[in-house]
């Protein structure tokens, strides 16, 4: 019975996306079904075969090493920020951007990254039927996270339409940063943390393509030369991969890249602080009405039907809903820290689904991060369009987390 409810839940989540779609007639169902099947195959492999989990772990370890190297630079300038029991969010997740962006800019400068993404993107675009850049961006997000992927794709993001940028923003709600995976695995089962990474990306493609279908002409379906924070005016007209453009001197290029990365960090931090503080203010106001009333509690009640559709009994579903609500208005670390000592006592089905649901940045503060990142990249008109679709960003993030947890639940009981 619970398996049937789980299957029904996945269909309901897709139905909700269809209900809120901005262009139902142009949804590419062939692409949606193809990616959904691919998603289920990957979920099966990563939950049933050791080699699948090892492959994801190896890729994640590469980026984790890169982040550890970044910490050495941070520790030289700000040792008190690094040499502590637990680094704060800015140090652990954002400061590494100062290395990650220049590294990818260098790979772009010497031509390695454009070559890789050209062929990987073509393969994914062919399989999924999605535009090339959306496919490339999905790969970048799988290990880099939202802000880093946005940073290294700055030039492309400036070139595409505002509607496609909204799609990119929705996809950005459903990922994690490689530097955070190690911390996650210390609190919740690492097997399901790593499984969630590719599933979230593929489900982000599914949900975003249903909520906001885009028609991209062959002329538009191109990839600009990518760069992180460094994009001079003359490079804005860079054509598809392979076209030669005049390159500025390397160290000038690198200096601009580092400065751009620093600017992006400041913008993101400002937006995160404001969004989290506003959520806290709402809790204070609700507390004046009823001391036991909070945004987490309200969202927990709202999330109960969706938690039940995961295929659990009523008691477990309500517990799941509370965790969902807390995660959405705070972040995944709050919930992971609270359940770390007891999650291994949960039923396998609930344990797997809870871990996968928590393994993403889909919460209210991430909206601030994404809008802040875009504010530092696109013009005001495009950023305003993204801001007007904040509801779709939140809906996308929730549905992707539900889809990923639901799909994993099909194979873990």
pLDDT digits (tens, 9 = 90+) for 60-97: 677 677 778 888 998 999 888 887 777 776 887 678 87
Whether the Cβ atoms of residue 369 and residue 268 lie closer than 8 Å to each other: yes
* Domain tally, the chain: 1
Residue 255 in this model has a pLDDT that exceeds 70: yes
What percentage of the chain has pLDDT greater than the value 90?
18
The reported pTM is 0.76
Residues of the domain holding 66: 2-409
What percentage of the chain has pLDDT greater than the value 70?
85
Grade residue 240 by pLDDT with cuts at 50, 70 and 90: very low
Average pLDDT of the residues in 158-168: 86
Residue 228 in this model has a pLDDT that exceeds 60: no
Average pLDDT of the residues in 196-211: 89
pLDDT digits (tens, 9 = 90+) for 13-61: 999 999 999 989 989 888 899 999 989 998 998 888 777 767 766 766 7
């Amino acid at each position: 019975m619970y398996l049937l409810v789980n299957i029904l839940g996945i269909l309901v989540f897709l139905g909700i996306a269809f209900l809120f779609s901005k262009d139902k007639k142009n949804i590419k169902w062939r692409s949606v079904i193809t990616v959904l099947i691919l998603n289920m195959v990957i979920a099966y492999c990563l939950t049933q075969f050791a080699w699948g989990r090892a492959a994801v772990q190896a890729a994640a370890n590469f980026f984790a090493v890169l982040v550890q190297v970044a910490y050495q630079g941070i520790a030289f300038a700000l040792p008190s920020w690094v040499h502590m029991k637990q680094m704060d969010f800015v140090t652990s997740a954002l400061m590494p951007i100062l290395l990650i962006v220049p590294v990818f800019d260098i790979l772009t400068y010497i031509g390695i990254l454009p070559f890789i993404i050209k062929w990987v993107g073509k393969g994914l675009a062919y399989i999924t039927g999605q535009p090339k850049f959306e496919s490339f961006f999905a790969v970048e997000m799988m290990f880099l996270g939202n802000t880093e992927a946005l940073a290294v794709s700055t030039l492309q993001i400036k070139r595409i339409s505002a509607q496609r940028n909204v799609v990119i923003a929705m996809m950005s709600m459903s990922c994690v940063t490689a530097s955070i995976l190690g911390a996650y695995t210390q609190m919740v089962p690492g097997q399901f943390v790593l499984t969630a990474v590719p599933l979230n990306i593929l489900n982000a493609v599914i949900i975003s393509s249903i909520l906001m279908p885009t028609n991209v002409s062959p002329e538009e379906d191109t990839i600009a030369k990518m760069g992180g924070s460094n994009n001079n005016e003359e490079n804005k007209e860079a054509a598809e991969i392979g076209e030669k453009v005049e390159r500025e001197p390397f160290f000038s290029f690198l200096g601009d890249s580092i400065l751009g990365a620093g600017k992006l960090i400041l913008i993101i931090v400002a937006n995160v602080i404001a969004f989290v503080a506003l959520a806290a203010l709402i809790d204070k106001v609700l507390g004046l009405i009823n001391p036991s009333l909070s945004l987490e509690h309200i969202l927990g009640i709202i999330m109960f039907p969706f938690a039940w559709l995961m295929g659990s009994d009523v008691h477990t579903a309500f517990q799941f809903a509370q965790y969902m609500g807390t995660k959405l208005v705070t972040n995944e670390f709050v919930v992971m820290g609270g359940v770390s000592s007891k999650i291994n006592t949960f039923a396998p089905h609930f344990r797997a689904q809870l871990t996968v649901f928590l393994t993403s940045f889909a919460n209210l503060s991430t909206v601030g991060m994404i809008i802040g990142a875009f504010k530092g990249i696109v013009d005001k008109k495009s950023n305003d369009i993204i801001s007007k679709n904040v509801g779709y960003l939140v809906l996308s993030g929730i549905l992707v987390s539900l889809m990923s947890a639901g799909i994993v639940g099909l194979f873990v009981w």
